[in-house]
Amino acid sequence: MPDTHPPAQCISTDQIFFASSALIEARERREDARDRLLRIVDSGKYQAWYNGGTMELRPFAPASDVGSGVLEELGLVKDGQLRVKINLVGESLMLTDGVWVDSDIRVFPFSDESAAISKYCCRRNLLERADLVIDLATGSGHNLAWFRRDVRGVGMDINPRALSYFHLNNVINGLSNRTGVLNDIRRGISNIVDGADTPNILILGNLPFGLAPTQRTLPFTSNGGETGVDLQGAALAAIAAFMRTKFGARARAVLLGYSVGNSTDGQWQVLDLARAMLPEHELGFSILDDEGLTRVDGRRVLANPSPVRMALQAAGACRLYHQDTDRAQALYASLSDRLVSRGFSDLAYVVLEIGPVQRVLESGRQSVDS
């Protein structure tokens, strides 16, 4: 059994689909639903729940006058409980799963990774420049929600439940030029994407990148294998192949993830992997030293980068991911031993930027202009 908490209220994937079908042609109901969701997010009680660490192990209970009516009819509220988590991303209300949902099917609950991607893209002027954004592992669509409404977006994911939230979020936020595509990045970037008339294609990705001591220690959305690199490597291979296509040659990509490595030598596994697949002059590498490293009970803690032992000990203490934190910390301690014996003494939260005319940075949040 995965290391999860006992089941609480879980909305079915069918019900998420029914909710978007019920709203798509019904403007008044849509506005009513949106208004109620906004009132929930704005309430002090929701903010306390949202920022309350382990409070989000259980669904939020909205005030009965707000949580009734259309939200109950749509199945978003049942027995007084809000069965989804709401993240506010820019002006968009993003519905997704909470951590109480079974970790084998759960859609990614947090929007902090997308905020880090957006901040990086802003710094590099990539947010403004993009005409088409392809999100390789979109979940409920957080990464695309940071872009202007007129930007065309294609969100891919292997999890159909993620795509049902993605669709519902497009309906609730009135976004008509965003398309969800079922795709396994290990098989490349779906050829459904047509970038023929698109000068500025931006590819984004935050694939699961958590370091997993065993196959069952982390939820499916975060499990990146022992060094966190398994799906980041698949994404790099997919991007390298896409960039060899006719319109892929113009694309830029921003991949967020963890990398094990050695900060004294400036050697990072993810960067080495990228160098093996892509020309050096097309690679940029940044350690996000203005972001916290490990997410513990919903908040990022520790300096970035940090010693891998310290980072993994903190990871094992996260009560949102581990019911038995002593067991998780023991598993992470033996993973740390294995990593250190392979020369990986540190862990960093990093961005790889891939595209025309880049150069590799040693570290630091400042990127070069191309």
Ligand X SMILES: C[S@@+](CC[C@H](N)C(=O)[O-])C[C@H]1O[C@@H](n2cnc3c(N)ncnc32)[C@H](O)[C@@H]1O
CB of 183 to ligand X, least distance (A): 6
CB of 95 to ligand X, least distance (A): 12
206 versus 294: smaller Cβ distance to ligand X: 206
Of 24-32, 106-114, 166-174, 242-250, the window that binds ligand X (rule: CB under 6 A) is 106-114
184 versus 265: smaller Cβ distance to ligand X: 184
Q: Is 14 in the site for ligand X (CB under 6 A)?
A: no
One character per residue 224-263, x = contact with ligand X (rule: CB under 6 A): -------x--------------------------------
User: CB–CB of 224/211 below 8 Å?
Assistant: yes
Which residue's structure tokens are 């006992």? 6
110 versus 285: smaller Cβ distance to ligand X: 110
Q: Is 103 in the site for ligand X (CB under 6 A)?
A: no
CA 87, CA 96: separation in Å to the nearest integer? 8
Q: Which amino acid is at 20?
A: S
Pull the structure tokens for residue 129. Answer: 């420049």
Q: How far is the CA of 342 from the CAs of 113, 271, 289, in angstroms?
A: 28, 17, 24
Q: Is 184 in the site for ligand X (CB under 6 A)?
A: yes
145 versus 243: smaller Cβ distance to ligand X: 145
Pull the structure tokens for residue 321. Answer: 């991911």
Which of residues 59, 67, 98, 208 is near ligand X by CB under 6 A? 208
Which residue's structure tokens are 């020309």? 279
204 versus 251: smaller Cβ distance to ligand X: 204
**Where does residue 295 fall: left (phi above 0), alpha (psi -120 to 50 degrees), or beta otherwise?**
beta
Which residues are bridge partners to 15 per DSSP?
A: none
CA 250, CA 244: separation in Å to the nearest integer? 10
Q: Is 291 in the site for ligand X (CB under 6 A)?
A: no
Pull the structure tokens for residue 230. Answer: 């398994």
Using alpha carbons only, how large is the chain's radius of gyration in Å? 20
**Closest residue by Cα to residue 81 from 66, 62, 57:** 62
CB of 115 to ligand X, least distance (A): 9
Q: Is 62 in the site for ligand X (CB under 6 A)?
A: no
CB of 187 to ligand X, least distance (A): 8
CB of 111 to ligand X, least distance (A): 6
Q: Is 56 in the site for ligand X (CB under 6 A)?
A: no
Considering only residues 152 through 181, tell me which ones interact with ligand X, judged by CB under 6 A: 157-159, 162
Q: To the nearest 5 percent, what fractions of the chain are helix, strand and coil?
A: 40, 20, 45
Sign of CA dihedral 213, 215, 218, 220: positive
67 versus 257: smaller Cβ distance to ligand X: 257
139 versus 316: smaller Cβ distance to ligand X: 139
27 versus 186: smaller Cβ distance to ligand X: 186
Which of residues 206, 259, 294, 367 is near ligand X by CB under 6 A? 206
170 versus 221: smaller Cβ distance to ligand X: 221
Which of residues 103, 118, 221, 259 is near ligand X by CB under 6 A? 221
What's the distance, Cα to Cα, between the start and end of the chain in Å?
Answer: 48
Which residues are bridge partners to 156 per DSSP?
A: 181
Three-state secondary-structure class, residue 81: strand
Q: Which residues bind ligand X (CB under 6 A)?
A: 108, 113-114, 137-139, 142-143, 157-159, 162, 183-186, 206-208, 221-222, 231
